[in-house]
Amino acid sequence: MLAAIGAESVAELFEQVPVPLRLGRPLALPGGMGEAEVLERMAALAARNADADEQVCFLGAGMYDHHVPAIVDAIVQRSEFLTPYTPYQPEISQGGLQVMFEFQTAISELTGLPVSNAGLYEGPSSVASAGYLAMAATGRRRFVVSRGLHPHSRETLATYAVGYGAELVEVGLRDGETDGGALAAAVDGETAAVFLQSPNFLGAVERVEALGAAAKEHGALLVVATDPMTLGVLKPPGEQGADIALGEGQPLGNRLDFGGPSFGFFCATEKQIRRMPGRIAGETEDVDGRRGFVLALQTREQHIRREKATHNICTAQALNALAAMVHLAWLGRAGYRELGELLVRRTAYARERLAAVEGVEPLHEAPVAREFAVRLAAPVGRVLERCAERGIAAGYPLGREYPEHEDGLLVAITERRTRAQVDALAEALGAAVAAEGGDFAPDGATKSPVGEGVGR
Amino acid sequence: MTPAETPMQRERATTIYERSRRGRRAAVLPGAEVPEPPLEELIPAELLRAEPPGLPEVAEPEIVRHYNRLSRRNFDLDSGLYPLGSCTMKHNPRLNERVAALPGHARLHPAQEPRRAQGALELMWLLQRSLAEICGLPHVSLQPSAGSHGELAGLLLTRAFHADRGEERTKVLAPDTSHGTNPASVTMAGYEAVKVATDERGGVEMDDLRARIDEDPDRVACLMLTNPNTLGLFDENIAEIAATIHEAGGTLYYDGANLNAVMGHSRPGDMGFDIVHVNLHKSFSQPHGGGGPGAGPIAVSERIEPFLPRPQVVRRDGGDGGEPFFDLDLERPKSIGRLRGFQGNFGVFVRAYAYILSLGADGLAEASETAVLNANYLKARLAEGRAGERLPVAFERHCMHEFVLSGRPMKRELGLATLDLAKRLLDFGFHPPTVYFPLLVEEALMVEPTETETKESLDAFAAAIEAILAEAEDDPEVARRAPYTTPVRRLDEVKATRRPVVRQTLEG
Amino acid sequence: MTLADASYPDDLRYHDQHDWARIEGDAATFGITWYAQDSLGEVVFYDPPEVGAAIDKDASYAEVESVKAVSDVIAPLSGEIVAVNEALGDAPELVNEDPYGEGWLIRVRLSDPGEADQLLGAAEYRKLLERE
């Protein structure tokens, strides 16, 4: 090969690297190892994680321990889906492009909005992407954001807003739901978008249409983040006046994987189609009239539009979107609805069951669909510790991100959380609160100076 | 000339919806096990959905057949050469899939307390350390989910860095050869994109760089580069470039798309870069998945460290002889904040770390060496015969891991555009190289074979190019109407964009 | 669908960014030249500017999109927009098929007709193209 190149040695090929910049020593990393050894090392690391098989998982906060059907694994592991690049040569990418088209159809159905893209990275950064679109659509730079939005979404939006030159205004919660009066007061003619989440972070199903009226009045876009597992039973954002519906897609077909990779779904009204971020598959024909699919509206994208692109995204999460599509196909029209109903009923049961436990009470009474918040009459951290000792990850502590709910715990339900497990959770919480509740008054009031309800 | 239809062409595209039949289903769900009041008793009726969303109605065997059939309408890396420039389509080791599927990794909830996720946090920390060593920069954040995400992070870090010094800077420089994500990220970060010219050797035009800076030195925030650049050439002036931008007070950002050329041989940190993003789905073997997932971790210098995203994976001393433990550091007062939820694409980290363990220090250096060797070999083969005449290389020097050819003579002499060549290659069983990028080269063809291709594979590719050019001398129409044997033939992109149909319309 | 041959009508004035102007008194019609539409490829989208908007010579007043590219459209002369070609909403391909006729983009009332002296005639424009 060197002869063909006309070089004496491989080193000669590296001569274009100036001498001072040549590393000149091996990388300070271990030497390479064989498969078995790598597996052993990785297994040793894996063994030090309390995964959802080890600890019954009532953790939610956007990512849920749903059952991922076996065919998802089989399909996403196929070479033809796993290893190709982005479909820039559509003639040999019809598999991937058609999957995108099917996915876009399904997600559009779920959200009730006509235009879906093929996916973004995940939930919170999709919220930030909606902000970018809203600025382009309205020419305004102000975001009004409900405190009910996932803290990670709010934080991510704030980070991106520095680059956007946008201002964020937060509206608090009242009894678990967005304070409608405060929201209406916060929206004005400078508002690019109003951001709501339903079910919100505390699990409450929000009155999106009523809340969104303020946005409509002032010509701001209404952006609604939602949980894709609840759209079988809850009225979708598209039927409640949303201009953009988006969210964390993990519950559909994707493992927990310590938080990623998953995908973000993103839908909008027809009017916004040319401002959409991300890949969009479109239907067309080939020269012989055969039905086929291509990447449509590429002039929005960075590889053509560069500094004027609707977004900078290139590589997204295509394989994870495929997993979602397979899961949705497996659930099917009836199964998806049935699953949603199951979640609502089991969640209602769980909330009631926990509310009956001494030292545990619901943090709010708003309707819930698959996740709910309670207040504990004992330090949440210590309660969680005791539950963990019993093999239960009892929930997500609210205190760090909602200091006004220092005693709060968010409990998530999936179809894998059986009645027996919920009962065991109730028992464990009861025992833990009883054991740890020394400093707390029996009615649940805490020593914290922060009052209840209204957020900041 | 059109040959008979292939079986796959005869099989018309049918969506999963079209395979549906009312009442069919795959899922068997658990029973409620709890009381089942009407939903209206639990959630107000006006918040409930009247009609279930339209989803397929298919049984499991049909689902499997559908997606299996669909998969065969894809060309993929496990089936053939994929010499896409700047994409680094190297083999994806299946070991990594097995490792990622270990329940301790795959079934771990991201909100699990750090003390119960020590394996995951340690893995992230070890990956951070490995990337720091490879990049030559001490501090790494794994949070960004892709290269573009890393670019945005780097620009926001730059912004925070300057703001911290009380400076307001508004412009970011990037070469005219830069990947489209660079200027797109610049705009998202609130900066103005300024182009810097490329010289005849293919590197940054130094006079132009100085001129762009001198226009408004106090406003230049950053210079974004990749090295080797998108022409596959190492810019020998890099030290001077770094000095120039640093003197002007700006940061120097490295787009890691081309890192595969220099792992273990040269390090962007040593070249003077302040912020580097690494594409784990390029140099570190994460499968491309048809468009992701990937990850774009960033490595930064000491002075940029305070601004790193939150949370940051750190190792804390055990104190009093206790074991060190791994944690998510949220106390970062100068942090730019979060770029996404939770900790990042952990499953990708697992695969990348397994890859780094597998190759090790020696293997990574060898990978880069072989990538460079393969690219130069293929370039040499394509300098022979018809390819040498019709597809001359844009810059006559040893390349690194990729090279760019120009289809200009082919177009003028044979009436064949680079696009036509690419489409004809599909009939020969190859994925074409990247086309029409970088914009600097007319009718560009950017070729990156990677280190995992054999000599035979490269020879076969060169032979295919030769054959197509010979054919075109005879009858250029053949390539202009290609492809013939792919599941569909050339597609009408105009129609797709003029009146976009981006979802299926469902009946009833 | 494009014109068979390149053509540059003599009665038009040309801007070096590949835009033409048909001047009629103190009003003018603008569009893009045969060369511009040929380089772009089939036009798929054109979003017209607002009637009443003021535009400046040498500045961009709109964008024309093909599948593979987006191009700024440059105003050859300054003025106020009095009409935009709505037909292009449904049939953007008119820009390719008839760039000087049905494919017109906007009509303006000129604010400074003298600017026309800075534009090129058909012959000069053709010469410029040869150099491209």
The domain ranges of chain B are 95-354
pLDDT average, residue stretch A332-344: 98
pTM comes to: 0.94
Do residues B394 and B232 make contact, with C-beta atoms less than 8 angstroms apart?
A: no
Q: Which residue has the tokens 């962007």?
A: B268
Name chain B contacts of A239, Cβ cutoff 8 Å: 49
Are A49 and B112 inside 8 Å of each other by CB? yes
Name chain C contacts of A273, Cβ cutoff 8 Å: none
- Confidence at C4, pLDDT banded by 50, 70, 90: low
Please check the confidence at residue A126 and state whether its pLDDT lies above 90. yes
> What backbone torsions phi and psi does residue B467 show, to the nearest 5 degrees?
-65, -40
- pLDDT tens by residue, C32-83: 999 999 888 899 999 899 999 999 999 999 999 988 788 889 999 999 999 9
A269 touches chain B (CB under 8 A): no
Going B68 to B73 to B75 to B80, the CA torsion angle's sign is: positive
pLDDT value of residue C3: 54
Residues in chain B: 508
Please check the confidence at residue A129 and state whether its pLDDT lies above 50. yes
Fold (CATH) for A70-326? Aspartate Aminotransferase; domain 2 (3.40.640)
CA dihedral A233, A235, A236, A241 (to 10 degrees): 180
Do residues B326 and B314 make contact, with C-beta atoms less than 8 angstroms apart?
A: yes
Q: Long-range contacts: B42-47, Cβ < 8 Å, 24+? A: B42/A344, B42/A345, B42/A348, B42/A367, B43/A205, B43/A233, B43/A234, B43/A344, B43/A367, B43/A369, B44/A367, B46/A235, B47/A205, B47/A207, B47/A234, B47/A235, B47/A367
Please check the confidence at residue B284 and state whether its pLDDT lies above 70. yes
The chain-wide mean pLDDT, for chain C, equals 91
- pLDDT tens by residue, A102-121: 999 999 999 999 999 999 99
pLDDT value of residue B2: 62
Name chain B contacts of C88, Cβ cutoff 8 Å: none
Question: Domains of chain C by range and CATH?
Answer: 19-131 (2.40.50.100)
- pLDDT tens by residue, B89-135: 999 999 999 999 999 999 999 999 999 999 999 999 999 999 999 99
pLDDT value of residue B498: 84
Share of chain C above pLDDT 90, in %: 77
| Nearest-angstrom CA–CA distance, A82 and A98 | 15
- Confidence at C132, pLDDT banded by 50, 70, 90: low
Least confident residue range of A296-305, B305-314, C111-120: A296-305
Helices (H), B258-345: 268-271
Q: Which residue has the tokens 């492809």?
A: B483
Please check the confidence at residue A439 and state whether its pLDDT lies above 60. no
A417 touches chain B (CB under 8 A): no
Q: Report the neighbours of A using a cutoff of 3 or more CB pairs below 8 angstroms.
A: B, C
Name chain B contacts of C45, Cβ cutoff 8 Å: 497-498
Give the residues across from B325 on adjacent strands: B316
- Confidence at A74, pLDDT banded by 50, 70, 90: very high
Name chain A contacts of B287, Cβ cutoff 8 Å: 82-83, 319
Going A248 to B280 to B352 to B312, the CA torsion angle's sign is: negative
Q: Report the neighbours of B using a cutoff of 3 or more CB pairs below 8 angstroms.
A: A, C
A349 touches chain B (CB under 8 A): yes
Q: Which two tokens stand for residue B283?
A: 């140099």
Fold (CATH) for B95-354? Aspartate Aminotransferase; domain 2 (3.40.640)
| Nearest-angstrom CA–CA distance, B156 and A164 | 10
Please check the confidence at residue A5 and state whether its pLDDT lies above 50. yes
Which DSSP category does B178 fall into? S
Name chain C contacts of A274, Cβ cutoff 8 Å: 45
Chain C window 99-118: which residues touch B at a Cβ cutoff of 8 Å? Answer: none
Q: At what angle do helices B181-188 and A151-164 cross, to 10 degrees?
A: 100
Q: Is A20 exposed, middle or buried (0-12, 13-18, 19+ CB in 10 A)?
A: exposed
pLDDT value of residue A440: 54
Least confident residue range of A371-375, A413-417, B2-6, C54-58: B2-6
Going A336 to A341 to A345 to A351, the CA torsion angle's sign is: positive
pLDDT value of residue A6: 86
pLDDT value of residue A452: 36
Chain A window 198-237: which residues touch B at a Cβ cutoff of 8 Å? Answer: 205, 207, 231-236
Share of chain A above pLDDT 90, in %: 90
ipTM of the complex: 0.97
| Nearest-angstrom CA–CA distance, C65 and B175 | 24
A13 touches chain B (CB under 8 A): yes
Pick from A274, A304, A308: CB nearest C68: A304
CATH superfamily of the A333-439 domain:
Aspartate Aminotransferase, domain 1 (3.90.1150.10)
Least confident residue range of A266-275, A333-342, A442-451, B346-355: A442-451
Summary count for chain B: helices (H), strands (E): 17, 12
- A333-439 matches A70-326 in CATH topology: no
- pLDDT tens by residue, A410-430: 999 999 999 999 999 999 999
Task: List chain A domain ranges.
Answer: 70-326, 333-439
Please check the confidence at residue B416 and state whether its pLDDT lies above 70. yes
Are C92 and B498 inside 8 Å of each other by CB? yes
